[in-house]
Structure 1
Amino acid sequence: MSTPFPTGRRPRIGIGGMSVRSATFSPHRTTYDDFRVTRGAELLARDAWTRPDGDLSGPVEWVPLVHAVAVPGGPVEPEAYRRLKGELVDRIRQIGPLDGLVHELHGAMGVVGLEDAEADLTEAVREALGPRALISAAMDPHGNVSRRLATALDLVTAHRPAAHSNAAHRPAAGQDAARTRERAARKLVERLAAGKGRPHLAWVQVPVLLPGERTSPRLEPARSLYGRPASIEELDGIVDAAVWAGWPWADEPRCKAAVVVTGDDPALAVEQARSLATEYWDLRHDFVFAAPAGDADECVEAAVASPARPFLISDTGDNPAAGGAGDLPYMLGRLLAHEDLAAGRVTALHAGITDPAAVAECFAAGVGAGVRLSVGGTHGPYEPYEPYEPYELAGEVVALREADEVGGDVAAVRRGGVTAVLVSRRKPFRSRADFGELDPRGYDLVVVKAGCPAPELSDLAADWRLALTPGAVDQNLRRLGHRRVERPLFPLDPHMPAPDLTPELL
């Protein structure tokens, strides 16, 4: 690609950012060690378009800054945030003037004691860059876009459904992020090549806050709604369009759906932003869960009665991939409360409860030994729920695995027909390999702490249900007790009046 730039020189564009989704209701805390930090050549090697032979590396000098990403969890410890923010800002100041920045954010990062963390980070980045450089943000659609954040950006986009996605499959989150990052970069390069400054941003928030399991692009109406920005982008005078569902498992005023349309035609940007926002509002009652849903006992009963094997149940309220602590034994208790499972007439594999002390006891006992464990509650009490008591699990150690890359040491304990997988570190179970020697296909029921299952588990399951269990990422938002979100807000206020959805030009 050969792009003539009006300055007569190759523009210098930085790449960096900080990304994590934080469930602020979780007792877990995200530390510096939870982040994977990428710098230098490794950062440039991540994407084809920034490599030496990439099509954007001829016309652009890509400058690696620092990028930090963590597995979803509880709020980030302040010291970890300050350390990473400081490194990013210092690097910008050290490397000399930049023409632009590809800024990677999630939109749902929470920091203990700080409100609107992405806006705080972006304002610091803006101060270091100076007013002339363009910031192009790549974000997750389950994040939040406050007015404060949007004002600090020049371009912003979010993940879109892939053209080939269908009801059964969707790309992995990493693929979504990579495509969005590339789109943000190309929009920025096009802008600089045209010698244009900041476009108009038509921004509006929609007072709707729904979990991703109810706004999945696998299903209508979300599929069509999230597909619209690509067609809006094709209009003359429009640069980009994006929709965000907001982050329901945090308690901040910014938490709600949002629409941003960027363009050189301000009237058209406002018109299209209003249209998208209005459509979102009008569809608020039509969003549905990606699978039949019910409380834990309803899902267990349906799974036991079904001939479909294996039958998958998502323990949604304690999903570590959404920020849950992964240490609630609630679903284990409900499985063993069922007579057929307790007696072993039906089998279930339940993964994975975080409890390093219980795992250590299993390793000390060895495979084949009987153990009596107090399982769960590793990270402390859950507000606003009553603290859950650990589950007293007596059973046989049936498997041990050392040093799993994510979960650390792993132990499996069987009681009746239920095999509980315990991990020493929070771990989402997404694939057959995550279970080690335990083959989920050999069980009647498979229960994972998850929302919508990853593609491999979805393919493995003959049928599945979403269990609306309690926890820090409860699908029933009313149980969480939001106190600081702006009200009225659907579905917390189901009969609220229609809002003013007039976009603001920033």
Structure 2
Amino acid sequence: MRVFTAALATETNTFSPIAIDKRAFEASLHAGPGQHPATPTLCTAPITVGREICAREGWTLIEGSASWADPAGLVARATYEELRDTILDELRAALPVDGVVLGLHGAMVAQGYDDCEGDFLARVREIVGPEVLVCAELDPHSHLTARRVAAADFFVVFKEFPHTDFVDRARDLWALAVRTLKGEISPVMSVFDCRMIDVFPTSKEPMRSFVDGLMALEKSEPGVLSLSVIHGFMAGDVPEMGTKIIAVTDGQPEKGAALAERLGRELFAMRGTFMVRQVDEKVAVGTALAAPRGPVVIADVWDNPGGGTAGDATVILAELMARGAQDVAVGTIWDPIAVQICFAAGEGAEIPLRFGAKSAPMTGNPIDRIVTIRKLVRNAQMRFGDSFAPFGDAAWVHFDGIDVILNSTRAQSFDPSLFSALGIDPKSRKILLIKSTNHFYDSFSKIASEIVYCSAGKPYPNRPAETPYRKARRDIWPMVEDPWGA
């Protein structure tokens, strides 16, 4: 067998002011054929797992390019078309192939392209024809459009949020691909539209039990090959935004459709109960200061670069400063200019510095302080499960009992190693202020005495009923209370 694999991924917050060009992919991951490192990023695990599987099967794996950019705003049209066409040319050069196994995100939007993955998959299908297997791994925070469903044989989606299972799901994807290519199964996808948009952390109930139930059904229900939830991505203003269920069966589309609908209606019945309780910055800081011991983790859930925001909001930091908080470590605030100034000044320097709150309104005000530069690190990175996440050149600055990590490559706070990468011991601090909606939970919960979820400012459109969408559908919950009533 000859199998082609490649990856092209980012998550687009269409409301974000952070435009994306090729440099953003190069800063995160941009690897040519055969140059992908042994460790996968979030959406490139099909490549690294594919190496292992094809070696075991004695098959030929033809690797195309792999490109991943951290979530942000719209991708430049020329950048998307260049990255897309590079992979398509690599695929043409690899022909004939028996299968195409891709790593995608599912929420990429470019100038002129509301559905990048649909466009890409349709072109892949046109090149290989109707008989060749085409499948992909997706992030659940994506848009499942009719065009991409028509172009692919099946999708496998991360089940966990935080996405700790992206390698496991890549193994599931390849297991189905291998069985399909050997003629053992005939996968068919059934999709159910849940007519809703919500946030579904699997680190708490009720989503924890729902996902456990999906995995149990995959093992126990005859003919069911894979079950997935497309959570949807509420910051993507595209026509087919929303939550959907995918059921992949062995040639049983009617059974898949019935099962997808049953699961989708169960999910809809629990709408609005999934997200953890959030408090404002005053309550968050008060709770952290009153805690008997640390570290108390304050998660700035909506200034999350993993959702496409800048990651430079200062609302919670300003409240900590106003309350005289001490023994605080902040990781991170994105400010490439401030980082550049710090590198010019050098470690140990004491300088006046303005940082933060440059990207958008309602993210607070810039911080002005005399700071001491404690540590400078080139090309810093933190762990995220089996992979590493770069956060660029970084500076640790200190003032008034507070330590702040300034970074030059936007990245959410995945893991406490973001602090230790700069020489800060996160376990020794009373308060850790981080920026993430839920990906932080798996690692930070292991060291936190308490976790406080804080909704501060408005860097992210997190209330769909109030969001000024121009393209997204309005016939889903919570835009309407009962989308089934009509």
CA–CA distance in structure 1, aligned partners of residues 262 and 274 of structure 2: 18
Percent of pairs with identical residues: 24
Counterpart mapping for 1:130-279 below 5 A: 130-161=129-160, 173=163, 176-194=165-183, 199-211=187-199, 215-233=200-218, 234-263=220-249, 264-279=251-266
**1:334 aligned partner:** 319
CA–CA distance in structure 2, aligned partners of residues 30 and 239 of structure 1: 36
CA–CA distance in structure 1, aligned partners of residues 128 and 436 of structure 2: 39
2:18·2:310 contact (CA, 8 Å) conserved in 1? yes
Structure 1 runs (4+) deviating above 6 angstroms are none
The superposition leaves residues 175-210 of structure 1 with CA deviations (integer Å, 9 ceiling, x where unpaired) of: 62222222112212212222766x442212212212
CA–CA distance in structure 2, aligned partners of residues 37 and 365 of structure 1: 31
CA–CA distance in structure 2, aligned partners of residues 443 and 499 of structure 1: 52
1:242, CA displacement in angstroms? 1.6
Q: What secondary structure, in the 3-state scheme, does the structure 1 residue paired with 2:446 have?
A: helix
Does 2:338 match 1:358?
A: yes
**1:434 aligned partner:** 418
**1:374 aligned partner:** 354
1:25·1:472 contact (CA, 8 Å) conserved in 2? no
Does 2:297 match 1:312?
A: yes
1:407·1:423 contact (CA, 8 Å) conserved in 2? yes
CA–CA distance in structure 2, aligned partners of residues 156 and 408 of structure 1: 32
1:312, CA displacement in angstroms? 0.7
CA–CA distance in structure 2, aligned partners of residues 499 and 122 of structure 1: 35
**2:5 aligned partner:** 15
1:309·1:444 contact (CA, 8 Å) conserved in 2? yes
Cα pair distance change 1:28/1:223, threshold 3 Å:
same
Could you tell me which of 456, 467, 488 is aligned with 2:454?
Answer: 467
CA–CA distance in structure 2, aligned partners of residues 87 and 81 of structure 1: 10
2:6·2:65 contact (CA, 8 Å) conserved in 1? yes
Counterpart mapping for 1:417-428 below 5 A: 417-428=401-412
Q: What is the one-letter code of the residue matched to 1:258?
A: K
How many equivalent residue pairs?
461
1:410·1:423 contact (CA, 8 Å) conserved in 2? yes
CA–CA distance in structure 2, aligned partners of residues 180 and 140 of structure 1: 10
Cα pair distance change 1:288/1:356, threshold 3 Å:
closer
The superposition leaves residues 434-469 of structure 1 with CA deviations (integer Å, 9 ceiling, x where unpaired) of: 221222233321101112225332222111111112
CA–CA distance in structure 2, aligned partners of residues 316 and 464 of structure 1: 11
1:133, CA displacement in angstroms? 0.9
Which stretches in structure 2 are left out of the alignment for 5+ residues? 39-46, 381-389
Does 2:270 match 1:283?
A: yes
Which stretches in structure 1 are left out of the alignment for 5+ residues? 1-10, 162-169, 501-506
CA–CA distance in structure 2, aligned partners of residues 205 and 104 of structure 1: 23
Larger radius of gyration: 1
2:70·2:411 contact (CA, 8 Å) conserved in 1? no
CA–CA distance in structure 2, aligned partners of residues 395 and 113 of structure 1: 45
CA–CA distance in structure 2, aligned partners of residues 313 and 396 of structure 1: 23
1:316·1:473 contact (CA, 8 Å) conserved in 2? no
Cα pair distance change 1:156/1:433, threshold 3 Å:
closer
Q: What is the one-letter code of the residue matched to 1:373?
A: L
1:284, CA displacement in angstroms? 0.9
Cα pair distance change 1:304/1:195, threshold 3 Å:
closer
CA–CA distance in structure 1, aligned partners of residues 443 and 253 of structure 2: 44
**2:93 aligned partner:** 94
1:401·1:410 contact (CA, 8 Å) conserved in 2? yes
1:426, CA displacement in angstroms? 1.8
Does 2:385 match 1:397?
A: no
2:413·2:434 contact (CA, 8 Å) conserved in 1? yes
**1:504 aligned partner:** none
1:480, CA displacement in angstroms? 4.3
Could you tell me which of 7, 10, 19 is aligned with 1:29?
Answer: 19
Q: What secondary structure, in the 3-state scheme, does the structure 1 residue paired with 2:397 have?
A: strand
Cα pair distance change 1:262/1:473, threshold 3 Å:
same
Q: TM-score normalised to the size of structure 1?
A: 0.83
Q: TM-score normalised to the size of structure 2?
A: 0.87
